[in-house]
Structure 1
């Protein structure tokens, strides 16, 4: 028989006969009225689980991972405030329902059943996924919480303290709020979770405010992999910087008491705590999962005998709050009501078109206060002697440093974070002096963990800051890329734009560094960034463009709430010359503060019609060298800098190549997964002009003299251009 049916029959029979599980008597500050309210939330959570399975069988529902066995989380919600942001495990329907009772005007059964049905009327995701989440309840939606939400929870907790010191314009959380983040015992083993625990402890150990409550829902099962007995307790009981609490999640009185103690500790001490909550998992992992295929029947029946609803019924009787008949009546009424509501929810409309689905990939714009900028005196104080050099040609690294300075003067909510961004001033000096100009609160030297860097940024963005995290090298992104793909980019998509995390991620990358680092420091792979819906990927080729584009990127984040990655070509940071040693052809002066390069605006050098060479970054620099050689031979070429790699500025590019007899795409990123494939496709579809491409090989980059062997060079671009003009390409 279906285990869900067995659990329900057991509940009815045992409550009717009074054959309830033994346990401690009710004790603690939970009142009778609160306890009855929590039991109602637990019954609703259970009813939703059972109804979701029926809906799936009927083809009317699309999600069956339930919360049965984890209903004790309702008591955790009761111990917190509805203004405390909560990043939830997917088994926390009880928490969301209980919080819904704390906020007027909520209809949890209706809202959650619309989500089960994937109706476009679902107030959280709009039918894009079954999610726990609610703007009114301060619960950002999660689609899957295998630890990926923990780093941003750490960031959100840090942001509460940071906002006390420097309040951003769009602050979301109260000053005395705490962040709650829940997860399962199996997820606690994930490297992402371990990084978040370490970051929280590392931060707290240094007495930096971090009001964060971790809640581990320990049911002892990672589907077919058991959690060793004592593993969680022994691993977290003495963790530096994080105070350990333990509660019996089957006992709402005990859970409420301990959760309240833990929350008070976090709220008053502004330090993180770890609440270890005993739970059980009833049924299988999801509707299609048969627990007895990997657990013995005795183990399954032991958990079923510890059904938290049975424990709640006993505790309510012993507290004099509800009789057995009254408890059973609440359960049956809730089951009947959910069935009625589900029948109606299943009739509500669904998303139908690609346009419908994609409507929330790009978040809504928001109103921002006008920026008047700093006074001349404040600006002179910040720049010091550098101010006199603004009219003198400089390499890209220094121009970017000045642009960052002006942006941080303009916008007090900009915060930078990363390895060595503060005291050292960055590996290449791009952020030098900024810590002296703005202090360690806004120039955060982080520990060495890219997931935590990006998580810090995501969490701070959700509290109104404009984070500018730095990833030291492009290759270092790959161990943390899911923080952008699975968390930052999906948040507006799965919340209908109600939750956003705008930021500008600065990454030093691409190839052509001479004799340094090989594939770890020369990385020309951008496929993972170009593949993320909604992400803007910008890549300047020179200092003046870099400053103007960086200003636009900050505007996109601040006003349009966009997720932006600003990819800075390392090899061009110090570049001074273009054609000959000492010509200074690649240095620029600092552009006026009101100058920006708009999103989608491309650059064009030359007006030749014989050939249009389309490239970016190092490729643009090298193509200009090839252009000079071509023109010396009578070939008139123009060179186009795409500047924006994702989404491609299609209209600007088509206009830029108009009138050219041939097109050559030069791509320093890899042939497979790089940008050239999309560019060639664009020109093939939109331009009736012969085209060809020169791209980097599908290879890692070598250290030493062969550093550039796998990528286009000025010579290979010149040869490819000659072949294209002669019709041999």
Structure 2
């Protein structure tokens, strides 16, 4: 057998890295288990019993990561981490990784992590959030979790789930390292560490030299990451258990001691192609494939065992055969376990089950008065929306000690529109975090903070900017409950300044009037207040939803209404409100819309700027044309109270929908569909919307947006003319 094994590349002995013979054998066992899971997955795929064939073959050296990182070092894993998860499970008695992973392969609803919804590597008991991405979208949240570890030592004195010296493990491939998400996350971690902000994370790049069919240039990973400021670079050979152990130990020591990020460059090979459907020789020379097979980490491990007399060739073959049979036996059990049978079963974890996070201590009046300080003098005066949101955030940060505001310029500057002004002075840099200019990192920070026990309130400066990072919401935050059966959640309130009507300022980047990107994400709450009083109550409800129900919430703040005080004439102050403390005012429940008037001639449905314009148009319609109106302010754009809206509109034959967003893809389409499907023939319906256009600069912006006169004209046309 020894003649078929590769020579040792690095001359190390087990004692050089403090590994006992038993530990080396144990690692080899995990490597064999992972390989036979890969084989079994492909055999089952041929029988239509397995549904995911991207395996870990060639990357089994990452079993060392599973051994040396603690369970309390939260792990964000690459999909080729089978050996890692198997070895990690050995740290906790009672784990059954082979059965669990085969249940996942077979899409059984008894799969303990995803409940049959996806083949994922994850575990609640092992602190491995499930990862479904095939690129690098898990890196930003891993970076955020690393920052959360440091923050927890300062802000979470009770109930911290992680020891003070915990670190974050995050692994990925060399092809994924080129993705903007990876580049942004590593840059953000380095940026923070460069300023001595704690960032205890080990980024492990498992470099097999190829991404599906595209080769990674030789030396590219080393050249790209070895000289970065704030990032400590280490190399190891992942095909050699001993050198891998040396490198991993060095990385962990550095991250634990200095609380700074490490880039561990681990050599690997990719065996068996990218996935089961991949014919590797169609794009790689046979000699290349055979060269990689010669460096199979299992062959290197077998050579190590033989060279040091830990196992005989016969014992190695016997162990391999036993594991092969064991995996096959377990597979036959797993494929017979029940599958998801109904849409209700599939969707059961889209929305997290409400859970008790912990008691929120009551805030005494003296503490609140001290926090508000000079703001107390302004509380009895009408305020605009921006100021009211600012006061609400202050009370929220006081009431929820684990809440954190983060985003670009939210600190001393107070944001572009001064919405966070003064919060930094009141609560400090740990609670009001200025981030770098990178929306992926801002949202990744929020997701990671949520993983480590915080309630994050990230700010995105403008709606258009979120498109740079929307997958952090769509593919990461919103899916986590679904793919973990509700075991992991991402509670957060994402504040986004958005929508149009800024009088032509800034063009489309500062006047984005489409939030369609959020509307088709299952389980996400979308709130959009039209006035300051509602904004206060809705923001409080959003934070409560995140805290109590672990929801992901989008809070869209209409920029054009931030400073608006007047409705009809200058100085009328009809759009300003006196701030109500957390114990005052009428709470606004999720999906609860507002209704103005009880007229039966015409119902106008709108939100945000559209509702503001509709209120202006209503005075003309009522006073000059005698129209008896009822106006509905949606407030919540997802989920809608469909039954309530149908009931509210029922007395009116005519319904006008005013939508400041584009005609195509706007919520007005959903409202028309709702009325048509659930109240067929009951209403005549018309829409006033923005044009299907981006927002131009200056006065031209008004040409593509609805205005008061358009609403009046459309209402009269629907009613049949002047009344």
What range is the shorter-chain TM-score in?
Answer: over 0.9
Trace 1:415-434 onto structure 2 (pairs within 5 A): 415-434=404-423
Trace 1:51-450 onto structure 2 (pairs within 5 A): 51-167=40-156, 171-450=160-439
Say whether the 8 Å CA contact 2:591–2:638 is kept in structure 1.
Answer: no
2:605 to 610, 614, 626: 614
Per the TM alignment, residue 707 of structure 1 is displaced from its structure 2 partner at its CA by 1.8
Tell me the distance in 1 between the aligned counterparts of 2:643 and 2:162: 41
| Larger CA deviation: 17-26 vs 609-618 | 17-26
Per the TM alignment, residue 26 of structure 1 is displaced from its structure 2 partner at its CA by 4.1
Tell me the distance in 2 between the aligned counterparts of 1:145 and 1:212: 21
2:654 matched to which residue of 1?
662
2:553 matched to which residue of 1?
564
1:639 to 631, 639, 658: 631
Are residue 624 (structure 1) and residue 615 (structure 2) matched? yes
Tell me the distance in 2 between the aligned counterparts of 1:223 and 1:382: 55
Per the TM alignment, residue 580 of structure 1 is displaced from its structure 2 partner at its CA by 1.1
| Larger CA deviation: 642-651 vs 21-30 | 21-30
Tell me the distance in 2 between the aligned counterparts of 1:330 and 1:488: 41
| Larger CA deviation: 640-649 vs 545-554 | 640-649
1:695 to 667, 689, 698: 689
1:672 matched to which residue of 2?
664
Residues 56-105 of structure 1: CA deviation (Å, up to 9, x unaligned): 01010001001000000001221111111000010010100000111111
Residues 222-241 of structure 1: CA deviation (Å, up to 9, x unaligned): 12111111111121111111
Tell me the distance in 2 between the aligned counterparts of 1:700 and 1:149: 32
1:713 matched to which residue of 2?
707
1:454 matched to which residue of 2?
443
Residues 9-53 of structure 1: CA deviation (Å, up to 9, x unaligned): xxxxx46x6644443344221211111110010000000000000
Say whether the 8 Å CA contact 1:21–1:306 is kept in structure 2.
Answer: no
Could you tell me which runs of 5 or more consecutive residues in structure 2 were left unpaired when the two chains were aligned: none
1:603 matched to which residue of 2?
594
Tell me the distance in 2 between the aligned counterparts of 1:470 and 1:316: 54
Residues 145-171 of structure 1: CA deviation (Å, up to 9, x unaligned): 401000000000000000000007764
Say whether the 8 Å CA contact 2:10–2:243 is kept in structure 1.
Answer: no
Q: Secondary structure at the match of 1:669?
A: strand
Tell me the distance in 2 between the aligned counterparts of 1:352 and 1:364: 20
The alignment yields a C-alpha RMSD, in angstroms, of 1.3
Per the TM alignment, residue 242 of structure 1 is displaced from its structure 2 partner at its CA by 0.9
Say whether the 8 Å CA contact 1:26–1:318 is kept in structure 2.
Answer: no
User: Given the two structures, how large is their TM-score scaled by the length of structure 1?
Assistant: 0.96
Tell me the distance in 2 between the aligned counterparts of 1:175 and 1:726: 71
1:3 matched to which residue of 2?
none
Tell me the distance in 1 between the aligned counterparts of 2:253 and 2:576: 57
Tell me the distance in 2 between the aligned counterparts of 1:314 and 1:520: 60
Per the TM alignment, residue 369 of structure 1 is displaced from its structure 2 partner at its CA by 3.4
Tell me the distance in 1 between the aligned counterparts of 2:385 and 2:476: 32
2:9 matched to which residue of 1?
23
| Larger CA deviation: 619-628 vs 689-698 | 689-698
User: Given the two structures, how large is their TM-score scaled by the length of structure 2?
Assistant: 0.97
Say whether the 8 Å CA contact 2:59–2:268 is kept in structure 1.
Answer: yes
The structure-2 alpha-carbon separation of the partners of 1:557 and 1:205, relative to structure 1 and needing over 3 Å to count, comes to: same
Per the TM alignment, residue 368 of structure 1 is displaced from its structure 2 partner at its CA by 3.6
Say whether the 8 Å CA contact 1:471–1:505 is kept in structure 2.
Answer: yes
1:651 matched to which residue of 2?
643
Q: Secondary structure at the match of 2:578?
A: coil
Corresponding residue pairs, total? 714
Say whether the 8 Å CA contact 1:169–1:413 is kept in structure 2.
Answer: no
1:5 matched to which residue of 2?
none
Say whether the 8 Å CA contact 1:213–1:263 is kept in structure 2.
Answer: yes
1:475 to 461, 464, 484: 464
Trace 1:456-535 onto structure 2 (pairs within 5 A): 456-535=445-524
Tell me the distance in 2 between the aligned counterparts of 1:640 and 1:304: 67
Say whether the 8 Å CA contact 2:498–2:512 is kept in structure 1.
Answer: yes
